[in-house]
Amino acid sequence: MFKKILIANRGEIACRVIKTARRMGIQTVAVYSDADARAPFVQMADEAVHIGPAPAAQSYLIADKIIAACKQTGADAVHPGYGFLSERTSFAEALAAEGIEFIGPPVGAIAAMGDKIESKKLAKAAGVNVVPGFVGEIEDTEHAVRISSEIGYPVMMKASAGGGGKGMRLAYSEQDVREGFDAVKREGLNSFGDDRVFIEKFILNPRHIEIQILGDKHGNILYLNERECSIQRRHQKVVEEAPSPFVTPKMRKAMGEQCVALSRAVGYYSAGTVELIVSGADPTGESFYFLEMNTRLQVEHPVTEAITGIDLVEQMIRVAAGEKLEMTQDDVKIDGWAIENRVYAEDPYRGFLPSTGRLVRYQPPVEGWTDDGAENGRRGVNGVRVDDGVYEGGEVSMFYDPMIAKLVTWGATRDEAADKQIAALDTFEIEGLGHNIDFVSAIMQHPRFRSGELTTGFIAEEYPEGFHGAAASDETKVKIAAVAGFVATARADRSRRVDGQLATPLAPPSQWTVTIDKTAYEVEIDEDEVLVNGQSIDLAMEYTPGDRLIEAEVDGEVLGVRIEPTRGGFKLTTRGAIHKVGVLPTRLAPLSAHMIEKVAPDLSRFLICPMPGLLVSLNVAEGDKVEIGQPLAVIEAMKMENILRAEKSGTVKSVNAAAGQSLAVDATILELE
């Protein structure tokens, strides 16, 4: 067994590998950039080596620096995590040349599966179902248009070396191909050093199912069931679960056996994932097709660990050390259900714009997963596990992936796992930057999610006008009103205490008018009960002015409520929505109609940078006429390109930025007359 492992990665996956290595008695080495000098994974490792500036291209992507760190520390193996160098054949070959073990698959398998064009040819030869498309290199945009027309719209354009949702565009028309083809090439080149693109038919009502593969160097290959990863935004996975609510035992066996056949054809060992697209329109469940094989650990691996009890990182290490798998296919079971939500630094209330900055407050619902066995490790504490690599006071940098944490819940049933997600998300505290906690909570509550009727178009179909918070039932609003009345009473009780200055203490108001979404609720608070519109509410909670988060038991339901005082009330966040709550003593409520409402200024004639990022291109100049929806500029942030379009027609009055500039949030790019 290895004595010392270097983790050629950062963030939560570096923490994840360190925990398993520690449990196995193996020392660890972290490598870090300037941006990660104080990161948790650096503190957790036994040793740490600085490898360069913040940009990954100057640090984490330079193989020579990783190898030098191995030599400096005496590490005899490298775990690459995912992303960065994890699927670079040149990196695995360079390690082998230095006598350092690569904790991953053989070079031949990485090469075969890393090229999406060649991998489809291999999959077809191995008897795996393949999506119809053009298997070959595409010369230019005109060639892409011809191919797309021959295949038939809609089509998907993908960077050949892509992954993680980068370098992908869905095209419903020739115009979409013309607008998106060059962007796919650029993203492929910038993220993977390869600008080749291929095009394939887009399957209608598609579900994204993937099979977890695990093999050793002795020819044993198993499939560890499937994961459903259909809920995606911009081809980036948001919610993953295992098993899939769609896959039957017969379908699972057929998928698994095809994926094992493909793995065997390329001599695969270690952990890997075969991704499949499945037609949800086929009631037989037999229409599944090969997409790609990821020759590495997946971000969503914890849900597989939770239902199988198998530590995938441990198995990768043991396989790399030459050990045989101790399990057979018959030993792989499905125990319960697991769901993972990715908590991203993005603002769903502002079109999911990336958000960077300091984590002024960061308190996950439980501590990060422990490593003392399956029940308290792979399934977390009471079925709740948090994998993260950030800390309160630290920064989420524009240089890396926007994921803050992964929240994983396990339950005996799918509904139980989803309910645990909702409860845990209610108590997940993040302040200082935008995050998607409300959004994923809303998904967990959504009737369509609960029914299991999922497709990769779920988010676009269910939130066509963007996200504005989870819908709250009348019952939930009554509970919020009760909580708001209690909080208002507690705050009034404290503010009326002017120690030693009043002869007779003033009693706080006990009757409040609480306004939620323009609906008024009459709330009465006394020592024995709470009344909302005359209805008795069973409320048990504690609140001290200044508390950011409270847990209130309202009519038997526990609500985690985040509180932010505002002028004339509170901003209460619970169950996936922000509620602007107005609270006034009932005797003063009639006066609220006379308050002046502040109107926001009209900024529609300005093109404002919505996030910190690089201005990749500017498509107009001073004096140009523009139409609504016309692409004006492209901003790159957190490895993704974002097209900024005109909100109104007009003429460009002035241009305030140039391509190649790094822009701050709210910077003015141009102004219309």
User: Which CATH number covers residue 79?
Assistant: 3.40.50.20
Predicted local distance difference test score (pLDDT) of residue 91: 98
Pair 342, 264 in one domain: yes
Asked if residue 326 belongs to a domain, the reply is yes
Regarding whether 353 and 489 lie in a shared domain, the answer is no
Amino acid at 367: E
Same-domain check for residues 217 and 359:
yes
Which pLDDT does position 336 carry in this prediction? 97
Q: Are residues 440 and 365 in the same domain?
A: yes
In a domain, residue 445? The reply is yes
Nearby residues of 423 by Cβ (< 8 Å), 6 or more positions away: 558, 560
Using CB atoms within 10 Å of the CB of residue 466, give its burial: 0 to 12 exposed, 13 to 18 middle, 19+ buried.
exposed
> For residues 408 and 428, is the Cβ–Cβ distance under 8 A?
no
Give CA–CA dist 582/584, Å, rounded.
7
**pLDDT at site 383:** 93
Q: Are residues 149 and 189 in the same domain?
A: yes
- Which stretch of DSSP H or E encloses residue 313? helix 312-320
Catalytic residue list contains 326: no
Which domain-ending residue is among 570, 594, 618?
A: 594
> Quick check: is 616 in a domain?
yes
Domain CATH for 143:
3.30.1490.20
pLDDT at 374: 46
Does 343 lie in the same domain as 294?
yes
What is the 3-state secondary structure of 483-540?
HHHHHHHHHHHHHCCCCCCCCCCCCCCCEEEEEECCEEEEEEECCCCEEECCEEECEE
Q: Quote the CA–CA distance of 566 and 560 in Å, as a whole number.
A: 19
410, 436, 462: which is the final residue of a domain? 462
Query: Do residues 386 and 370 make contact, with C-beta atoms less than 8 angstroms apart?
Result: no
Q: Let me know if 215 is exposed, middle or buried by CB neighbors in 10 A (0-12, 13-18, 19+).
A: buried
Residue 52 pairs in a beta bridge with 33
Question: Residue 501: its pLDDT value, please?
Answer: 55
- 69, 6 contact by CB (below 8 A): yes
Any idea what the CATH number is for the domain that residue 403 is in? Answer: 3.30.470.20
Q: Which long-range CB contacts under 8 A does 327-335 form with residues at least 24 apart?
A: 327/222, 328/222, 329/222, 329/223, 332/222, 332/223, 332/224, 332/225, 332/308, 333/308, 334/225, 334/242, 334/243, 334/307, 334/308, 335/307, 335/308, 335/309
Same domain, residue pair 316 and 416 = yes
Shared-domain flag, residues 215 and 166 = no
Domain for residue 113, yes or no? no
Exposed e or buried b per residue across 390-413, where buried means at least 16 C-beta atoms within 10 angstroms of its C-beta: beeebbbbbbbbbbbbbbbbbbee
Q: Quick one: 273 and 305 in the same domain?
A: yes
The residue type of 217 is: K
For 423-455, what is each residue's pLDDT tens digit?
999 999 999 999 999 999 999 999 999 999 999
Residue 53 covered by a domain: yes
User: Taking a C-beta distance cutoff of 8 angstroms, is the pair 583, 570 a contact?
Assistant: yes
pLDDT score at 641: 80
* C-alpha–C-alpha distance, residues 642 and 200, integer Å: 23
Q: How much is the pLDDT for 163?
A: 65
What does 153-203 look like in DSSP terms, one character per residue? SSEEEEEEEEETTEEEEEESSHHHHHHHHHHHHHHHHHHHS---EEEEEPP
Q: Where does residue 599 rank: exposed (0-12), middle (13-18), buried (19+ CB within 10 A)?
A: exposed
Give the closest residue to 415 by CA, choosing from 450, 457, 371.
450
Which CATH number is 615's domain given?
Answer: 2.40.50.100
Q: What angle do CA 327, 228, 17 make, to 5 degrees?
A: 55
Q: What is the pLDDT of residue 592?
A: 66
Find the catalytic residue in 12, 101, 187, 292: 292
Please tell me the distance from the alpha carbon of residue 129 to that of residue 285, in angstroms, as a whole number. 13
- Domains contained in the chain, number: 5
Is there a contact between 617 and 641 (Cβ–Cβ < 8 Å)? no
> Is 179 a member of any domain?
yes
d(CA 367, CA 28): 21
pTM for this prediction: 0.84
Same structural domain, 639 and 619: yes
* Lookup: tokens for 189: 């080149």
List per-block mean pLDDT (blocks of 10 residues) for the chain, which spans 673 residues.
98 96 97 97 98 95 98 98 95 97 97 86 90 81 94 88 76 93 87 84 88 98 98 92 96 96 97 93 75 95 96 97 97 97 94 89 84 61 93 90 94 97 96 95 98 95 95 94 93 63 65 92 88 94 91 93 90 95 86 66 85 88 92 83 88 93 89 92
Q: Report the alpha-carbon distance of residue 189 to residue 615 in Å, rounded.
A: 17
**120 is a domain residue:** no
Condensed to tens digits (0 to 9), the pLDDT of residues 262-318 reads 999 999 999 999 999 998 766 666 779 998 999 999 999 999 999 999 999 999 999
Q: Are residues 531 and 412 in the same domain?
A: no
Beta-bridge partners for 668: 608
Q: What is the pLDDT of residues 534-579, one digit of tens each?
A: 999 999 999 998 899 999 999 999 999 999 998 889 999 999 999 9
194 inside domain? yes
Torsion angles phi and psi, residue 82, rounded to 5: -135, 155
554 and 650, same domain (yes or no): no
- Contact present, 71 and 98 (Cβ < 8 Å): yes
Neighbours of 34 (CB within 10 A): 15
CB contact at 8 A, 419 and 315: no
Domain housing 279: 209-225+240-462
CATH of the domain at 551: 3.30.700.30
What confidence score (pLDDT) does residue 500 get? 46
Final residue of a structural domain among 544, 560, 594? 594
